Chain A
Amino acid sequence: MAGPVKDREAFQRLSFLYQAAHCVLAQDPTNQALARFYCHTERTIAKRLVLRRDPSVKRTLCRGCSSLLIPGLTCTQRQRRCRGQRWTVQTCLTCQRSQRFLNDPDHLLWGDRPEAQLGSQAGERSQTTTAPAKCSSPRSSPPP
């Protein structure tokens, strides 16, 4: 992928919105409505322009109400055992929607595998350097 310009601008916008939501929540922990608004805008942009997001970023956004999930503040995180395996369950406090992740130290996300690192050089350029928050990076090769 040559990294078309429009995509880079769009990714910068997404990452800015994400950081802005974090910033707003850091200033005032009680007001989640604005952070939710920003994350909802972010989700609509990503849907409209069909942009892929990094799974680590996607996991912090609730899929139901699109609020920013921070364990302890807006969501609860519990460890549970189900069918002999250990899962981490995140429950959003506003819409009561839960997400389950398997605790498997051997499980590697596609993005972390070495085959996917081809596109990482194009991805480095589009990351903004303002805050240490994670940004979404474009992945060049789709999963098989």
Chain B
Amino acid sequence: MSEQTRENQLRRKAVVLEYSTRRKQKEKKKKSKGLSARQRRELRLFDIKPEQQRYSLFLPLHELWKQYIRDLCGGLKPDTQPQMIQAKLLKADLHGALVSVTKSKCPSYVGVTGILLQETKHVFKILTKEDRLKVVPKLNCVFTVEIDGFISYIYGSKFRLRSSERSAKKFKAKGTVDL
């Protein structure tokens, strides 16, 4: 009789035999253009071992930067318009510049001077004369950049962008300029 009951049950009800929703292959192989996580794993950033690289090795880079800025401003010492230089500095690249920290909310950062090696979104990496790599956050810091007798102050809090984005962005004077 079990067969009869089985027949009855099967005829009236819909029985779900098995789930057949296969998950689609969402894992498309990404084009090797942007392997972001893997890229970082390969230590694209600095490693401390090249601290054997002395400060003197980066002096030619600094010379190159000076020439670049002179070329950008179009003159050695234009007595005119510091504003022009400021405007150009906003779009310019600061790698290789000699920066120093003048004001900062954290007093241990004040006075750090050296060549800028890397600029990331929040941080400057500076190599000091004693061959030490200092990582200085941009927030709440004022940096000084000097070129040919022109001293410019850079308020780090407004500069919290990756250096590549900075040349694409227009800056507005917003808020107070202070630490």
Contact = CB atoms under 8 A, between A and B. Distances in A.
Given A41-B163, A64-B35, A33 B61 contact: no
B150 interface: no
Interface residues of B, number: 36
B58 to A, nearest CB: 7
Nearest to A128: B71
Given A48-B168, A49-B167, A65-B39, A28 B57 contact: yes
A30 B35 CA distance: 23
A19 B50 CA distance: 20
A16 B93 contact: yes
A34 B96 CA distance: 12
Nearest to A48: B168
B44 interface: yes
A137 to B, nearest CB: 16
Q: Tell me the interface secondary structure of chain A in the complex.
A: helix
B93 A13 contact: yes
B168 to A, nearest CB: 4
B58 A27 contact: yes
Interface in A1-34: 6, 9-10, 12-13, 16-17, 19-20, 23-24, 27-28, 30-31, 33-34
B44 A19 contact: no
A48 B165 contact: yes
Residue picked from A6, A34, A131, most chain B C-beta under 10 Å: A34
- Chain A interface size, as a band, is 35 or more
Interface string B47-69: 10010010001101100110110
A13 to B, nearest CB: 5
A34 B57 contact: no
A23 B33 contact: no
27 contacts: A9-B91, A9-B167, A10-B91, A12-B68, A12-B71, A12-B72, A20-B65, A28-B50, A31-B50, A33-B44, A37-B44, A37-B118, A38-B95, A40-B44, A41-B163, A44-B162, A45-B164, A45-B167, A48-B165, A63-B32, A65-B39, A95-B35, A97-B32, A128-B68, A128-B71, A129-B71, A130-B67
Closest 6 CB pairs of A and B: A44-B164, A16-B68, A48-B168, A45-B164, A27-B57, A31-B50
Interface of B: 32-33, 35, 39, 42-47, 50, 53, 57-58, 60-61, 64-65, 67-68, 71-72, 88, 91-93, 95-96, 117-118, 162-165, 167-168
